């Protein structure tokens, strides 16, 4: 998105910010709240409260920041129409859709529960109906499999572990790589979920198209990325065993 740095910079910032947050929480637990007493517990739960609170208000903050870039009503209606068809097939409650003007290609889910919003850049909204439906099906896969809640739990657990373990780097560094690996598995899972809705062939075509637009990263960089390479994602959808894999956490 226009409000964020480039993709590669975003990965570096994710790692640095994670270390900074863990270091800050650890410092607060030591110098302000004490260590292992009631104040420590208050600090720990305050961290969870901030994380959950931000998750709830983040869609509203993002929408306000992008409001000045709202796209034309015709494009908004078209995306909502296609999204409504995907929602019906996925069994997921119809979320809010927001199309904003941007020359960058971007589609993403923000928030959880009733606060879920799917943000679509104007350039992404220009895809044909089948391609857009496939891309939105992937985002609905994230919603149906409750990936936002899983990510929140992972980061909350990492903060707790860093405090309780009385160590920052020794825990945060390997844990960060585990979180990135888990997020890549979520992308594969959302692809599989979407393939069951729109078909594996259409999903592979959509991923290849998005990969051509955004460009792919070298395989070695994927270990530092929240997303697998598009090559790997397309290859996964060619494997029947992968397509038949059960996805935990899905709604009925």
Average pLDDT, the chain: 75
Q: Between the CA atoms of 194, 199, 201 and 204, what dihedral angle is there, to the nearest 10 degrees? A: 0
The residues, any chain, with a CB within 8 Å of residue 210's CB and separated by 6 or more, are: 105, 135, 230
3-state secondary structure 43-82: HHHHHHHHHHHHHHHHHHHHHHHHHHHECCHHHHHHHHHH
Residue of 15, 39, 38, 12 lying closest to 28 (CA atoms)? 39
Domain residue ranges in the chain: 7-243
Q: Is 88 helix (H, G, I), strand (E, B) or coil?
A: helix
DSSP 93: P
Q: What's the pLDDT band for 247 if we cut at 50, 70, 90?
A: low
pLDDT digits (tens, 9 = 90+) for 22-67: 556 656 656 655 555 555 555 555 665 565 556 556 656 665 666 5
Closest CA to 190 of 239, 143, 149: 143
**What are the beta bridge partners of residue 109?**
118
């Amino acid at each position: 998105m226009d409000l964020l740095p480039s993709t590669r910079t975003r990965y570096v910032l994710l790692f640095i910010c994670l270390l900074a947050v863990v270091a800050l929480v650890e410092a607060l637990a030591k110098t302000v709240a004490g260590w292992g007493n009631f104040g420590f517990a208050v600090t720990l739960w305050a961290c969870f409260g901030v994380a959950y609170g931000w998750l709830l208000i983040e869609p509203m903050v993002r929408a306000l920041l992008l409001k000045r870039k709202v796209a034309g009503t015709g494009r908004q209606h078209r995306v909502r129409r296609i999204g409504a068809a995907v929602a019906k097939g996925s069994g997921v409650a119809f979320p809010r859709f927001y199309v904003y003007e941007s020359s960058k290609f971007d589609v993403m889910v923000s928030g959880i529960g009733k606060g879920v919003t799917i943000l679509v850049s104007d350039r992404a909204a220009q895809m044909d109906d089948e391609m857009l439906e496939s891309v939105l099906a992937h985002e609905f896969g994230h919603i149906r499999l409750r990936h936002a809640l899983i990510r929140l739990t992972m980061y909350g657990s990492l903060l707790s572990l860093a405090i309780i373990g009385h160590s920052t780097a020794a825990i945060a560094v390997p844990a960060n790589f585990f979180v990135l690996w888990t997020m890549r598995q979520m992308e594969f899972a959302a692809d599989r979920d979407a393939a069951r809705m729109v078909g594996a062939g259409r999903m592979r075509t959509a991923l290849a198209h998005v990969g051509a637009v955004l460009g792919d990263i070298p395989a070695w960089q994927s270990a530092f990325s929240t997303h697998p390479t598009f090559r790997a994602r397309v290859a996964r959808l060619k494997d029947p065993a992968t397509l038949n894999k059960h996805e935990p956490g899905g709604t009925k």
